Structure 1
Amino acid sequence: MGKVIHFLFCILISNSILSLAQEDCSSYNFRNNEIYATCVSLPVQNSNLHWNYHPTNGTVDVAYRHTGVSTSTWVAWALNLNGSGMLGAQALVALPNSNGSVQGYTSAVTSYGTGLQQSPLNFAVPAIRAERLNGDVLIHATLVLPGGRTSFNQVWQSGPVSNGAPGAHALGSENRNSLGTVDFITGQTGAGAAVGGSLLHRRNTHGVLNAVSWGILMPMGAMVARYVKVFKVANPAWFYIHIACQATAYGVGVAGWGTGLKLGSDSEGIKYTSHRNIGITLFVLGTLQVFALLLRPKPDNKYRKYWNIYHGGVGYTVIILAIINVFKGLDILDPEKKWKHAYIGVLISLGAIAAILEAFTWFIVLNRKKEEKQVNGAHGANGYGHSHGQPA
């Protein structure tokens, strides 16, 4: 009985929330007493879409409203006739001017590196204008719907203005989820997949590859080299385990680096300078480590200690930079919090294991030195006494 009451309560709350959202949308008063028969509150970015559909001539008067917009932010709403994301979107753009006014124009998005330059759309737009009103930006337009269609995929976005032109929008969760469907006859809207489609999939692949390789396998390989080799019984097995971890990490990391280069070429105009530069540095240092392994001196070589210093120093530098870059990548992708928490949990686990092994390693090493000192001292005392006990 309690579960039934809880279920009905949830339904009541959900309906109340939806009703409030709809009421907020429909109760908005436009300037000049404009009235729109249908409106929907879009799920993210504080946006609403209002419209009047005219079946006699297949046109629709739309008003896209984005609330709480700063004077240095552009906004856009678009229909995508053949796709579901940014590429191919036919956009209505509102761009703030230096004098405080807002310019409305059309822009066909043909690449991910678009600057939202003014251009005609794949369908006629007889009228378009934009305005700012009480902190909201509104785009009013009349669209001649193509091919007698009334149901489309829609996209909406906002971003910074740089030197009077639209800059690249953020890639946070709200930006990635600013799309869905709209039917101008029924008034029904639906949520879409994350913005970017295959591009977002490649971003996620890039992130996973690099987090696993540079961010997890590399530290694990370093831990093997530092802590496992202290056990005599583990020699030379620790060396091959270390090589296996680092070689796997490097191979996967190169794949992740390659996807990053591809993403950069496909995302012209979107730059993450520090993340990119650290990634390039990691690739260079990782490659140097591979060649250093092939050129390492033998254990009894007089230059081996210098090679050890170099190899260890570069290795720890790679680990530190890798962890920093993983967090930079997570900030760029902005996934659900659980993924960042999961990676932090992995790092804490590795750190705890390293701390325990560090203490245990020092315990073994100090005991071993103590035993060796006792043995050497005993041998030295016996040899000294025996020598002086001989006749002259």
Structure 2
Amino acid sequence: MGSRFHLFLIILCLLLALSSIGYSVPTEATAEQQANSTSGLHNPDAKVTSPSKIWKNPGLGYTTLLRHVHGVLNIIGWGTLIPIGIIVGRYFRQEFPIRCDQWYSVHAVCQTCGYIMGTVGWAFGVSVLHSSSKRSHLPFLVLGIFIILLTTIQIMFAVCMQPKKESGARRRCWEIYHHVMGYVIMALIIGVIFEGINAQRHPKKWRWGYVGILSGLAIVGAALEVHRCYRLKLFKQAMKLNANMYSPTT
């Protein structure tokens, strides 16, 4: 069952990575419709169109809708689920601070769901470029491809090339690589999300919303780290006390 699940994850990651790179959504909007859709992004006095009219007429606020979907999916997928998976992998796989036997399943589900949502959100970002006449965010899009490729490699290495715990030094080297690469990807994701927020219609609201999410995750991580250090200190003191009690006297 485990090998089938791993094979399914590999195939899913490859399909998402390949399809997202070649993803495109052609639109039939005319130049006038595109001008109307992009003008609402820079004109704060523009009228807000209802969602039903947006879907019926892609030229009215269609780009704004795509931007919002793109932002929400990326913030939830890349910016929330991926960090939660990292927290679970760091603080729930050992006795300190909290032991959870199902930590690996929770970690894998968070990372996989975050990867899928982030990739779909990136595809909506491609749609934004196709429905807009501007190409100023092309480097931002390329950086998204880079993050998707790094995350795909990270997942495939975790599934296919993870040494057993009995491997010793090889296992230790793999853990160092896995942790460092995970933190690098997370730093890139946070930077890209804040860069993408600047392209939204109301960047201040988006920025403070994501700052709130990061603050909540940081508080949880800091609390778990303090609890881990405290319990580890108590454990070492207990071990030292036991060693002194049972040490042979001369």
Query: TM-score by structure 2 length?
Result: 0.72
The residue type paired with residue 253 of structure 1 is G
Distance 1:304 1:376, change over 3 A: farther
The residue type paired with residue 201 of structure 1 is L
User: Which residue in the other structure is 1:297 paired with?
Assistant: 163
- Runs of 4 or more above 4 Å deviation: 169-173, 373-379
- 1 or 2, which has the higher helix percentage? 2
1:316 equivalenced with 2:183 (yes/no): yes
Give the number of the structure with larger relative contact order, counting CA–CA contacts within 8 Å between residues 6 or more apart: 2
How far, CA to CA, are the matches of 2:194 and 2:80 in structure 1? 13
How far, CA to CA, are the matches of 2:48 and 2:40 in structure 1? 16
1:332 equivalenced with 2:199 (yes/no): yes
Distance 1:235 1:266, change over 3 A: same
User: Which residue in the other structure is 2:113 paired with?
Assistant: 248
How far, CA to CA, are the matches of 2:196 and 2:136 in structure 1? 12
Contact 1:230–1:361 (Cα < 8 Å) also in 2: no
Cα deviation for residue 219 of structure 1 reads 1.0
The residue type paired with residue 151 of structure 2 is G
Distance 1:273 1:170, change over 3 A: farther
Distance 1:316 1:353, change over 3 A: same
Specify the SS of the correspondent of 2:198: helix
The residue type paired with residue 226 of structure 1 is R
Q: Which residues of 2 match residues 339-378 of structure 1 at below 5 A?
A: 339-375=206-242
Contact 2:147–2:185 (Cα < 8 Å) also in 1: yes
User: Which residue in the other structure is 1:218 paired with?
Assistant: 82
User: Which residue in the other structure is 2:17 paired with?
Assistant: none
The residue type paired with residue 224 of structure 2 is L
Cα deviation for residue 313 of structure 1 reads 0.8
Contact 2:197–2:203 (Cα < 8 Å) also in 1: no
Uncovered stretches (5+) of structure 1, i.e. residues with no partner: 1-86, 89-108, 115-154, 158-168, 179-190, 386-392
Identical columns (%): 26
How far, CA to CA, are the matches of 2:101 and 2:154 in structure 1? 20
How far, CA to CA, are the matches of 1:198 and 1:315 in structure 2? 35
1:174 equivalenced with 2:39 (yes/no): no
Partner deviation per Cα, 1:259-298 (whole Å, 9 max, x = no partner) = 2233334435422144223312211111012101112111
Contact 1:171–1:333 (Cα < 8 Å) also in 2: no
Contact 1:264–1:271 (Cα < 8 Å) also in 2: no
Contact 2:41–2:64 (Cα < 8 Å) also in 1: no
Q: Which residues of 2 match residues 133-282 of structure 1 at below 5 A?
A: 172-174=41-43, 178=46, 191=47, 193=49, 196-231=60-95, 234-267=99-132, 269-282=134-147
Mean CA deviation greater in 348-357 or 367-376: 367-376
How far, CA to CA, are the matches of 1:261 and 1:371 in structure 2? 57
Distance 1:111 1:296, change over 3 A: farther
Provide the aligned length of Structure 1 versus Structure 2.
Answer: 211
Cα deviation for residue 316 of structure 1 reads 0.9
Contact 1:298–1:304 (Cα < 8 Å) also in 2: yes
The residue type paired with residue 70 of structure 2 is H
Task: Tell me which structure has the larger Cα radius of gyration.
Answer: 1
Specify the SS of the correspondent of 1:288: helix
Distance 1:377 1:288, change over 3 A: farther
- 1 or 2, which has the higher strand percentage? 1
Partner deviation per Cα, 1:163-218 (whole Å, 9 max, x = no partner) = xxxxxx8874526x54xxxxxxxxxxxx4539752222122111110011111111
Q: Which residues of 2 match residues 25-44 of structure 1 at below 5 A?
A: none
Distance 1:226 1:371, change over 3 A: same
The residue type paired with residue 277 of structure 1 is V
Specify the SS of the correspondent of 2:166: coil
Q: Which residues of 2 match residues 82-101 of structure 1 at below 5 A?
A: 87-88=29-30
How far, CA to CA, are the matches of 1:287 and 1:358 in structure 2? 28
Partner deviation per Cα, 1:96-133 (whole Å, 9 max, x = no partner) = xxxxxxxxxxxxx3684x8xxxxxxxxxxxxxxxxxxx
Uncovered stretches (5+) of structure 2, i.e. residues with no partner: 1-28
The residue type paired with residue 248 of structure 1 is C
Distance 1:192 1:344, change over 3 A: closer
